[in-house]
């Protein structure tokens, strides 16, 4: 059996939506936008066309993530691609989405009251740093 993986760095386009199942599990649904950089005719780097990916994330602690994920937040997601299929008014429908397994970040603010309170008190609110994908001691250029 093979398993696909996808790794995307981008920004959330809206606050995540929390949905609960009958068994009490919570899924966070959000869309992440990735903007690919390309060279134009003069050789300068410019923003290319944005790609948008629908994501489902089943965290153990959804409240932790609801406080930290929001519109505009930059994150790196790792997951696998899944195709949903269903029938609507006699037509077969499908869409591809990402089942998120991990979310990585270097700094992620807490959104909401705690973040506002920290700003008024002059304190910085941060979440624990995720492991880095790049060994800072070895840069090949």
Q: What is the mean pLDDT of the chain?
A: 79
Distances (CA, A) of 139 to 7, 63, 86, 98, 135: 21, 37, 47, 31, 7
Residues sharing a CB contact under 8 Å with residue 94, sequence separation 6 or more, in sequence order: 83, 84, 85, 86
Name the least confident of 65-79, 83-97, 119-133: 119-133
The model carries a pTM of 0.68
What span, in angstroms and rounded, lies between the C-alpha atoms of 124 and 31?
27
From the number of C-beta atoms within 10 Å of its C-beta (0-12, 13-18, 19+), residue 34 rates as middle
The pLDDT tens digits for 21-67 are 899 899 999 999 998 888 889 999 998 889 999 999 999 999 989 98
């Amino acid at each position: 059996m093979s398993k696909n993986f996808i790794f995307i760095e981008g920004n959330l386009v809206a606050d995540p939506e929390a949905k609960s199942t009958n068994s009490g599990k919570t899924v966070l649904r959000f869309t992440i936008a990735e903007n690919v950089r390309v060279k134009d005719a003069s050789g300068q780097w410019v923003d290319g066309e944005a790609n948008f990916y629908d994501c489902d994330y089943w965290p153990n602690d959804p409240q932790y993530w609801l406080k930290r994920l929001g519109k505009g937040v930059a994150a790196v997601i790792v997951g696998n691609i899944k195709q949903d299929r269903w029938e609507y008014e006699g037509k077969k429908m499908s869409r591809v989405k990402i089942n998120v397994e991990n979310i990585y970040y270097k700094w992620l603010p807490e959104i909401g009251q705690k973040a506002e309170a920290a700003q008024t008190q002059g304190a910085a609110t941060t979440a624990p740093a995720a492991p880095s994908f790049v060994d800072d001691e070895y840069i090949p250029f």
